[in-house]
């Protein structure tokens, strides 16, 4: 039997070690080459005035270098320099441009502007970055600078002038983004505000910033606002009278945070290997808050209403005697005027399609309460002609609503439009139409005498609708096709993990359209209620 070759084992071990070391080194080289390619592509886009594409490509290159641990290399310094050029000349954002130049100088203290791209505006910004580097102290380490640990802001000068802020370029979907700044004593401001808005949001949300133990002003962009492709923000310092003093960015020229997909590492218990799994929950464990839709809401409301009844409309129960042709006609409304809808209740159930757009179904029940125009038999009265007409009862209507909600905090104004069907009733006092010789009557009386064409005598039987002649109240109905537009606000009283409960004020203008035998009219609902939102 041949003896084992003891020299072979060390050789194999050495080869394996060399190969294992070469694999990550080769991978790092590939990342650097890819980043250099992205850098060239970005500046081609910049030269073609595609500023947003250039910025996104440069940020992508930085992200790849950072993930590979190559974000302190000369390549990273070049990319930061170009990112500064894009911000300053492309987006007219000098503050962010200076910060990118600072990032480049921290990596390589010998970084300089490309003479072919240098302009007086860029040179001024670069000089400011160089001056900031001198204030921050002597450089150390790689390229003349010791880079601060990832996730931390770069050190600020011991003496702060103006409003100093290291802009945030990236954030992860669904996670809070802290925004830090320092306010110099030379600024006559007592308060600092953070303004932010998500993709598709029209208005900025304002957040007061507070001073932490290190003396930094800190505001938080909440994780629920980190959605879409980007979030815009700016800072504004104000004096004691609330007047703006100094700002970083502006509503028309905000700082931009690119929203990155948030992935977490999970372990496969079968293989023992780690892999990336798409994040499907936000920091509260709520799968719907991060995606911006699926939130169910429920509102219970009650209120009153005021309507406009146009001239020529008719009441529902009473009929008026016409002397000229000895007939009865439905009691007409002589002039356009206001009428009252005493009490109504509404139930609305809906779901948000996005954080701002929702669709709902609403059921409305109105109570007339005060109307007494009635000729139906009761315990003390039997109509002479028999039968009788029951007074108009409560009304029912249903609508499908589309609403838009403006803000995302506790106070949320909203607008809505809707379409539906049913009737809405209002009460109207018709006591003035009573005639001692010919009182107001019901439909059965009108039908009994309208065919005759001769005067109705006092001795002839009639079904009176108002036995209290001094106080006769009938109803006028609008519908059957309804269309509405309105607005209001919701204010959260309590918020919990999967929703909240608050109060709701709603004002709705509803138009009754004369379809299917209905009458035209306008109704204004004013209602207050309690609402809840879930998931």
CA–CA separation, 223 vs 292, rounded Å? 11
CA distance 371 to 147: 81
Side-chain half-sphere of 50: how many Cα atoms within 13 Å?
Answer: 11
Residue 220 reports pLDDT greater than 50: yes
The CATH fold of domain 296-534: Porin (2.40.160)
Write the CA distances from 49 to 42, 45, 316, integer angstroms.
11, 6, 69
User: Which pLDDT value is given to residue 274?
Assistant: 41
Length of the chain: 535
Beta-sheet pairing, 521-534 with 296-309: antiparallel
Q: Which two tokens stand for residue 336?
A: 């356009």
State pLDDT tens for residues 13-39.
555 555 444 445 566 678 888 999 999
Q: What is the C-alpha to C-alpha distance for residues 382 and 186, in angstroms, rounded to an integer?
A: 90
What are 182's two structure tokens? 């320092």
Q: Which residues have CB under 8 Å from 136's CB, separation 6+?
A: 154, 155, 156, 157
* Residue corresponding to tokens 């992860």: 172
In the chain, CATH 1.25.40.10 covers 18-142
Q: Which residue has the tokens 């050190």?
A: 155
CB 66 within 8 A of CB 260: no
- Where in the chain are all domains bearing CATH 2.60.40.10? 164-263
Helices (DSSP H) in 399-452: which residue ranges? 443-450
Model confidence pLDDT, tens digit, residues 141-171: 444 444 444 444 444 434 678 899 999 999 9
What is the C-alpha to C-alpha distance for residues 125 and 131, in angstroms, rounded to an integer?
Answer: 10
CA gap 235, 187 in Å, rounded:
14
CATH class of 164-263: mainly beta
DSSP assignment string, 438-498: S--B-HHHHHHHHTT-SPPPTTS---BS-SSTT--EEEEEEEEEEEEEEEEEEEEEEEETT
Lowest mean pLDDT among 218-222, 341-345, 464-468, 508-512: 464-468
pLDDT category at 178 given cuts 50, 70, 90 is very high
pLDDT beyond 60 at 503: yes
pLDDT of residue 135: 66
CATH for the 18-142 domain, from 3.30.365.10, 3.40.50.300, 1.25.40.10, 3.60.130.10: 1.25.40.10
Listed residue (383, 398, 400, 412) closest to 487, CA to CA: 412
The residue among 137 and 204 whose pLDDT is bigger is 204
d(CA 2, CA 303): 102
Tell me the C-alpha distance between 511 and 40, whole Å: 61
* Model pLDDT for residues 286-322, shown as the tens digit of each residue: 443 444 456 899 999 999 999 999 998 999 999 999 9
Q: Where in the chain is the domain with CATH 2.40.160.20?
A: 296-534
- Considering the entire predicted model, what is its pTM? 0.50
The three state secondary structure string of 96-143 is HHHHHHHHHHHHCCCCCCCCCCCCHHHHHHHHHHHHHHHHCCCCCCHH
Mean pLDDT of the residues in the chain = 83
């Amino acid at each position: 039997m041949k003896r084992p070759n003891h020299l072979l084992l060390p050789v194999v071990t050495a080869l394996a070690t060399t190969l294992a070391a070469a694999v990550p080194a080769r991978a790092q080289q590939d990342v650097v080459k890819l980043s250099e390619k992205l850098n060239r592509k970005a500046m081609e886009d910049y030269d073609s005035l595609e500023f947003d594409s250039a910025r996104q490509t440069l940020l992508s290159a930085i992200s790849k270098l950072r993930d590979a641990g190559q974000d302190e290399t000369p390549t990273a310094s070049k990319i930061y320099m170009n990112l500064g050029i894009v911000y300053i000349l492309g987006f007219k954002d000098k503050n962010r441009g200076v910060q990118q130049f600072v990032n480049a100088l921290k990596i390589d203290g010998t970084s300089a502007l490309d003479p072919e791209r240098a302009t007086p505006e860029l040179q001024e910004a670069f000089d400011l970055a160089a001056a900031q580097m001198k204030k921050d102290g002597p450089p150390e380490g790689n390229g003349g600078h010791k880079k601060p640990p990832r996730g931390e802001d770069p050190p600020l000068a011991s003496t702060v002038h103006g409003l100093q802020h290291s802009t945030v370029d990236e954030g992860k979907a669904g996670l809070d983004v802290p925004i830090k700044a320092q306010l110099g004593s030379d600024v006559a401001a007592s308060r600092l505000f953070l303004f932010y808005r998500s993709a598709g949001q029209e208005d900025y949300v304002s957040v007061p910033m507070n001073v932490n133990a290190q003396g930094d002003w800190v505001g938080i962009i909440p994780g629920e606002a980190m959605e879409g492709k980007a979030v815009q923000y700016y800072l504004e310092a104000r004096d004691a009278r609330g007047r703006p003093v100094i700002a970083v960015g502006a509503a028309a020229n905000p700082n931009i945070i690119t929203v990155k997909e948030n992935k977490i590492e999970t372990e496969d218990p079968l293989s023992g290997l780690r892999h990336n799994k798409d994040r499907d929950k936000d920091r509260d464990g709520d799968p719907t808050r991060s995606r911006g839709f699926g939130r169910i809401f429920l509102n219970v409301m009650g209120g009153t209403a005021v309507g406009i009844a146009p001239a020529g409309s008719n009441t529902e129960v009473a009929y008026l005697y016409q002397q000229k042709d000895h007939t009865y006609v439905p009691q007409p409304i002589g002039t356009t005027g206001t009428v009252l809808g005493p009490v109504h209740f509404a139930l609305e159930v809906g779901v948000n399609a996005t954080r701002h757009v929702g669709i709902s179904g609403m059921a409305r029940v109105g109570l007339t309460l005060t109307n007494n125009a009635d000729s139906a038999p009761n315990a003390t009265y039997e109509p002479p002609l028999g039968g009788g007409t029951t007074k108009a009862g409560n009304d029912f209507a249903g609508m499908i609503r589309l609403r838009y909600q403006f803000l995302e905090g506790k106070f949320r104004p909203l607008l809505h439009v809707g379409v539906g069907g049913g009737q809405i009733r209002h009460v109207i006092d018709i006591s003035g139409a009573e005639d001692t010789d010919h009182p107001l009557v019901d439909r059965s009386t009108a039908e009994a005498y309208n065919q005759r064409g001769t005067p109705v005598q006092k001795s002839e039987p009639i079904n009176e609708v108002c036995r209290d002649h001094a106080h006769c109240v009938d109803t006028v109905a609008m519908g059957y096709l309804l269309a509405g537009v309105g607005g209001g606000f919701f204010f959260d009283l309590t918020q919990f993990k999967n929703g909240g409960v608050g109060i709701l004020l709603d004002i709705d203008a509803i138009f009754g359209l004369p379809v299917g035998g209905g009458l035209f009219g306008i109704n204004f609902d004013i209602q207050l209620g309690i609402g809840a939102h879930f998931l």
